[in-house]
Amino acid sequence: MQSSFAWDWGYEINLNAIHSLPIQGPSFPTQGIWQPILIEAYDDAILQSVSPMTIFDSKTKQWLLNVTIWFEGYPKSTVKGRLMIDLDGISLLNQDFNLLIDANGDGSLRTIIVMPKTIPIQPWYPNGLGPQKLYQMKIVFQSANDSSNLKKLIGFRTIELVQDKLNTSREAYSFYFKINGVPIYSKGSNWIPAHALHEKLSSNYLEFLLWSAKEANMNMLRVWGGGIYETDHFYEIADRYGILIWQDMMFACALYPTDRNFLQSISTEIRQQIRRLSHHPSIVIWAGNNENEAAIAQSWWPEIFQHLDLFRRDYLQLYIETIKSIVEQEDSSRPYVSSSPSNGVISKRENYLSSNPQSNQYGDVHFYTVSGDVWDWRVAPSAKFVSEYGFQSLPSFSLLEKYLNKDYLKYPFNDGMRHREHQAGGIELITSMMSNYLPLPKQDSIPSRYQLDDFIYLSQIHQSMAIKSQTEFYRRNRKIDKNSGEGLTLGALYWQLNSIWPSFSWSSIEFGGQWKMVHYYVKKIFDNLLVDVFEQNNHLMVMIVRDDHSHFVNFSVTISVYGWRKQEPLNVYSTFCMTHSFDVALAFQRDLNQLMKESNCLSKDSCFVSAKIAGVLDREFLVRENFKLLGNLKRASLIKNPNIHLDSIQGPIFSFDNYIYDIKLSSDHIVPFVWLEFVSNSDIFAIFSDNGFLMIRNATIRMIAPKNYPKEKIISNLAIKIFNDVYHKYK
């Protein structure tokens, strides 16, 4: 895979001579044969792959199966045989065919099957919007001398990438998906290779990572173009969990040749991958590359500016004339975008090489910032679909301790820890950003492991709050600005879900599977029901965001204003808000100065706001909560010893191969960012229902573990880290 040689989140090889970038380190590309090799023998022809496209006829209300089957056979021959197709054991086709095999030994058959009304088809839906019903499709081909069969799990669903012209002064187009005719908000992350040595990746670990995406209410992952086309097992899991896949072709951040041999190799690869993968209902879009259009448009490397015409021709020849043409031939059921980011529907008009492929008016954007108030939502782009954005943090101390020399495990960082950061200037950047909001250990202090543990905790707070601010904005930003054409954001995929090694990373899950704090945060933000609290034009705003397609619901809304030193609210506002499906509703707004005056809040730094909604949706009583820091935590007046108590642990209850415990906590004072983890030498692995949370008085946290751990072991190994302690060390 390309990323075996270099990337800013993983292992790197010295590229100084190529791009003059100050990065170096080990490189571990897999060598030799690492997948099974099979010898297939036949006399006439055998099945190779099948591509079933599901089509819903809105007039007859019936599903159609447009099935293309590919064969390998004796060159330049005609093979008489019988083709049989069944679905969950019910015969759909049993017919004789004359199969023509060309000079290359390839043949194909295509048939359209109208699903009989005697088979009640249940559509496949993404996570959070319906069931993921899968049917086993079996294809058998029998000739005089051969018999072969294929089995595939398929789902019935339709896909539409909606890019409609919007009624705005400045030209703009929408960019969102419909599944089975229903608009969805795409919520999720970006997927990178899960292991530096891909052959070492276990199926259990792969399953856990995708389960973690599902549990965090994600419905989409973007398989990034710098890794590999993932295994069959990856896409099978995505099908089961309802995780939509944005599939990049494997080209990323580089300039590729277009000589005859390379294009022939690429053409074969693209055809093989589409035929291998196209039966998966989870895959919803093909993208030609990652950021290569942007690289040429913005002249990322001096060679581009020097040979611009050459690289523009190469780009069009590879991604448009070759890959786009093959995708359209092989799979007309899914959309193709030439790059990510791109300007979507207007890319063709710009000859697929826009001067600005990151417009907020159309297509998708990638957004990273190195300056400004990144805890403020106003730094984020008001784009149609944000397919990359993110911030770095460090993984847990216990993970680093497994892999690093103990002499490296100190802060301020030494060369050993600095080597783990492969983003140029990354340590200085993350430290600078964190220092705007959080008290940090002094750079001239005596290095210690305790300071490193604190820095890790603070880095995860920073990542969580920055992602929270941006993502909540993307979730509520569904109105279109009539003048600028910006807004109508219907997709947010943060960078990145997983990590390839223990290091500084943008990931929300550290190498090995432990959830970082930010993963718990996006779980709440990506919920189908979100209460969002933010500041705009010196007003406190509370909005309710719904992604479901159910009926209207009237929610009770409670807004509580707190001071940091008192558990009782300074003021409480109560109201009701009528909401509609797949919509955003304004539940509360108040002039901030007036609110602070009414609440006897002396300064923004001394107060925060909590919002809570409650209502019945689809016969289920739902409660959602959120918080908004009004000021800067560096200047907050926090109690020094808030006294958090572990009151009890109840359970376990065995459920779905896991053991469930309830951990009851209480505190004598308000505590932000309460973090539960197990000590370094513990072998306990668990996921919590919430973590990094704001605790006002009491909390019951559910612990999900793969093993039945004795309560005494949990109590003796559970560590509770709180911001108040770190705050008073370094303020």
State pLDDT tens for residues 119-164.
Answer: 999 999 999 999 999 999 999 999 999 999 999 999 999 999 999 9
Q: Indicate whether 12 pLDDT > 50.
A: yes
pLDDT at position 184 is: 99
352 and 472 in a single domain? The answer is yes
Banded model confidence at residue 25, pLDDT cuts 50, 70, 90: very low
> pLDDT tens across 317-341, in order?
999 999 999 999 999 999 999 999 9
Whether residue 11 is contained in a domain is answered as no
Q: What is the mean pLDDT of residues 400-427?
A: 90
Q: Indicate whether 219 pLDDT > 80.
A: yes
Whether residue 5 is contained in a domain is answered as no
Secondary structure (DSSP) of 43-88 = SSEEEEEEEEEEEEETTTTEEEEEEEEEEEESSSEEEEEEEEEEET
Whether residue 723 is contained in a domain is answered as yes
> pLDDT tens across 384-393, in order?
999 999 999 9
- Which of 580, 608, 632 finishes a domain? 632
Rounded to two decimals, what is the model's pTM?
Answer: 0.96
Please pick, among 291, 293, 486, 677, the residue that the annotation labels catalytic.
291
Residue 625 sits in a domain whose CATH number is 2.60.40.10
328 and 431 in a single domain? The answer is yes
Q: Indicate whether 27 pLDDT > 80.
A: no
Q: What are 665's two structure tokens?
A: 């906590």
> pLDDT tens across 76-119, in order?
999 999 999 999 999 999 999 999 999 999 999 999 999 998 89
203 and 149 in a single domain? The answer is no
Q: How many domains does the chain have?
A: 4
pLDDT at position 423 is: 83
pLDDT at position 424 is: 81
685 membership: H or E segment, kind and range: none
Banded model confidence at residue 715, pLDDT cuts 50, 70, 90: very high
List the one residue out of 618, 476, 621 whose CA is nearest residue 551: 618
What is the rounded CA–CA span in Å between residue 641 and residue 619?
Answer: 43
Question: Token pair 């390998």 is at which residue?
Answer: 72
Instruction: Please list the residues that pair with 82 across neighbouring strands.
Output: 96, 142
Residue 291 among the catalytic residues: yes
Please pick, among 12, 230, 388, 421, the residue that the annotation labels catalytic.
388
Q: Indicate whether 6 pLDDT > 80.
A: no
306 and 360 in a single domain? The answer is yes
- Which of 632, 662, 691 finishes a domain? 632
293 and 330 in a single domain? The answer is yes
| 253 CB-near residues (< 8 Å, 6+ apart) | 226, 290, 291, 292, 295, 300
Spell out where 192-248 has E strands.
220-223, 244-248
Q: Indicate whether 21 pLDDT > 60.
A: no
| Residue 256 CB burial class (10 angstroms; 0-12, 13-18, ≥19) | middle
433 and 347 in a single domain? The answer is yes
Residue 650 sits in a domain whose CATH number is 2.60.40
Whether residue 16 is contained in a domain is answered as no
What is the rounded CA–CA span in Å between residue 529 and residue 545?
Answer: 6
Cβ(399)–Cβ(424) below 8 Å: no
Whether residue 29 is contained in a domain is answered as no
List the one residue out of 300, 494, 265 whose CA is nearest residue 386: 494
pLDDT at position 196 is: 84
Order of strands, sheet of 186-191, starting from the edge strand that comes earlier in the sequence = 336-337, 283-287, 244-248, 220-223, 186-191, 491-494, 386-389, 365-367
Q: Indicate whether 13 pLDDT > 70.
A: no
What is the rounded CA–CA span in Å between residue 364 and residue 391?
Answer: 19
- Residue range of the domain that includes 720: 644-730
Whether residue 98 is contained in a domain is answered as yes
Whether residue 164 is contained in a domain is answered as no
Q: What are 339's two structure tokens?
A: 């790059």
| 655 CB-near residues (< 8 Å, 6+ apart) | none
Q: Indicate whether 212 pLDDT > 60.
A: yes
555 and 506 in a single domain? The answer is no
Whether residue 1 is contained in a domain is answered as no
218 membership: H or E segment, kind and range: none
189 and 240 in a single domain? The answer is yes
260 and 390 in a single domain? The answer is yes
What is the rounded CA–CA span in Å between residue 349 and residue 345?
Answer: 8
Helix axes of 426-435 and 449-476: crossing angle, nearest 10 degrees: 80
Residue 354 sits in a domain whose CATH number is 3.20.20.80
Tell me the one-letter amino acid at 557.
V
46 against 681, higher pLDDT: 46
| Residue 131 CB burial class (10 angstroms; 0-12, 13-18, ≥19) | exposed
What is the rounded CA–CA span in Å between residue 112 and residue 95?
Answer: 13
Q: How far is CA 344 from the centre of its chain?
A: 20
210 and 87 in a single domain? The answer is no
230 and 207 in a single domain? The answer is yes
What is the rounded CA–CA span in Å between residue 364 and residue 385?
Answer: 5
Residue 401 among the catalytic residues: no
Cβ(95)–Cβ(83) below 8 Å: yes
Integer distance in angstroms from the first to the last C-alpha of the chain?
45
387 and 517 in a single domain? The answer is yes
- Which of 632, 663, 685 finishes a domain? 632
Helices (H), 668-710: none
